[in-house]
């Protein structure tokens, strides 16, 4: 396995502000005004972009709408009692 660890030395600004370089913001999905998750670790902290709740709700509503428009029918009670998932994937 190849070690892809990169270490950057960044300076904290007033009030603890930290500027994440543009290339890293773009690569990892940090957006201006977006939320950031901070995980406390023994060796330091880990910063991760957090999903915007409103965007997630919008996506889920859209997905539910698409699912409702699929041409499918629900099984009748008892129709699937003899169906096994193991057989489905053999």
Q: What is the domain count for the chain? A: 1
Between the alpha carbon of residue 58 and those of residues 33, 48, 63, the distances in Å are 18, 21, 9
Q: What is the DSSP string of 22-90?
A: HHHHHHHT--TT--EEEEEETTEEEEEE---HHHHHHHHHHHHHHHHTS---PPPTTTTTT--HHHHT-
Asked whether residue 17 is domain-assigned, the answer is yes
Between the alpha carbon of residue 62 and those of residues 41, 42, 49, 73, the distances in Å are 36, 40, 23, 20
Name 36's bridge partners. Answer: 49
pLDDT in tens, 76-88: 888 878 777 776 5
Give residue 46's pLDDT: 92
Give residue 53's pLDDT: 82
Mean pLDDT, range 20-33, rounded to an integer: 92
Asked whether residue 54 is domain-assigned, the answer is yes
Which pLDDT band holds residue 2 (cuts at 50, 70, 90)? low
Task: Note the pTM of the prediction, 2 decimals.
Answer: 0.52
Q: Print the domain residue range for 51.
A: 11-70
Asked whether residue 79 is domain-assigned, the answer is no
Asked whether residue 86 is domain-assigned, the answer is no
Give residue 30's pLDDT: 93
Asked whether residue 46 is domain-assigned, the answer is yes
Give residue 89's pLDDT: 63
Residue 41 is encoded by which pair of tokens? 């670790």
Average predicted confidence (pLDDT) for the chain? 84
Asked whether residue 19 is domain-assigned, the answer is yes
């Amino acid at each position: 396995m190849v070690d892809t660890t990169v270490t950057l030395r960044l300076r904290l600004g007033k009030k603890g502000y930290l500027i994440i370089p543009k290339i890293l913001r773009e690569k990892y999905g940090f957006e201006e005004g977006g939320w950031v998750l901070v995980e406390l670790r023994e060796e330091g902290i880990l910063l991760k972009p957090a999903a915007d709740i409103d965007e997630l709700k919008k996506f889920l509503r859209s997905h539910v709408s698409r699912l409702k428009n699929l041409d499918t029918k629900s099984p009748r009670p008892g129709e699937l009692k003899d169906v096994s998932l193991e057989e489905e994937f053999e």
